[in-house]
Amino acid sequence: PERRAALLTFVIIGAGPTGVELAGTITELARDTLPPDFRHIDTHQARVVLIEAGPRVLAGFPDDLSAYAQRSLESLGVEIMLGQPVTECSAEGVVYGGNTLKAKTLIWAAGVHASRAAEWLNAPADHAGRVQVLPDLTIPGRPDIFAIGDTVVIAGPDGKPVPGIAPAAKQQGRYVAEAIRARLRGDAPAPFRYKHSGSLAQIGKRKAVIDFGWIKLRGALAWWIWGIAHIYFLIGLRHRLSVALSWLWIYTRDQRAARLITQGSSKVMG
């Protein structure tokens, strides 16, 4: 029983958008999708634990959306541990806040250490190892070297660090191209200014939160917008149509489109 409990325990470390989405998805899979394929295992006994060192889930979202996400996860059965930094991970489980939890599946969603660019550039770095760049995204003392993406840290208009996400990196890439063109013309480039387009996070089926700054959404409408946004950024019309039809099938039939491989491979005798 103890070993089975560990095998059925899924620990997710980090309650950002990735951790929240994983927690909701794993819980829904165990509750709704897997039971017909695992008749000898009660998948409803699966335990999903979300551990966060900070005081709330989705720390980058407004307080009301963060609270809605927490309530939604808890209604699914997710156990949420806030203010609990993880101090040890092993094949047997995880240690957080002085507590030991036995689990065979650990998923790290709390971010990773930055690349070692600061070391080989001999540039100043913050506590996470990210390169501290100037307002024009160059290395201090090296105006010929630009650094962009999640390997750098620079303050946004609100004074907070620009998030290490793809939209920010794309804006920085376009800025560097324009800065180089300005230099070739003999002009001084203006400082980089990050424009936040919005934050989206899925919690579960028909549940999501969206923060566009000027408007906040949650629930089914936010879930639909989240799905449309992800389809829009896919490459090629064929992929967009394929994913859209797959999601519509899941929504209307309450089934998963993906096939579950639950049996071992069989030998072909010839």
> What is the pTM for the complete model shown?
0.79
Q: Is 74 a catalytic residue?
A: no
Q: Which residues of the chain register pLDDT less than 70?
A: 252-270
Structural domain includes residue 91: yes
Say which of 2, 21, 28, 119 is annotated catalytic: 21
Domain shared by 53 and 155, yes or no: no
**pLDDT computed for residue 260 by the predictor:** 46
Q: What is the 3-state secondary structure (H, E, C) of the chain?
A: CHHHHHHCEEEEECCCHHHHHHHHHHHHHHHHHCHHHCCCCCHHHCEEEEEECCCCCCCCCCHHHHHHHHHHHHHHCCEEEECCCEEEEECCEEEECCEEEECCEEEECCCCCCCCHHHHHCCCECCCCCEECCCCCEECCEEEEECCHHHEECECCCCCECCCCHHHHHHHHHHHHHHHHHHHCCCCCCCCCCCCCCEEEEEECCEEEEECCCCEEECHHHHHHHHHHHHHCCCCHHHHHHHHHHHHHHHHHCCCCCCCCCCCCCCCCC
**pLDDT computed for residue 255 by the predictor:** 59
Domain shared by 9 and 31, yes or no: yes
Structural domain includes residue 9: yes
CATH number of the domain enclosing 168: 3.50.50.60
Range of the domain at 86: 1-111
How many domains are contained in the chain? 2
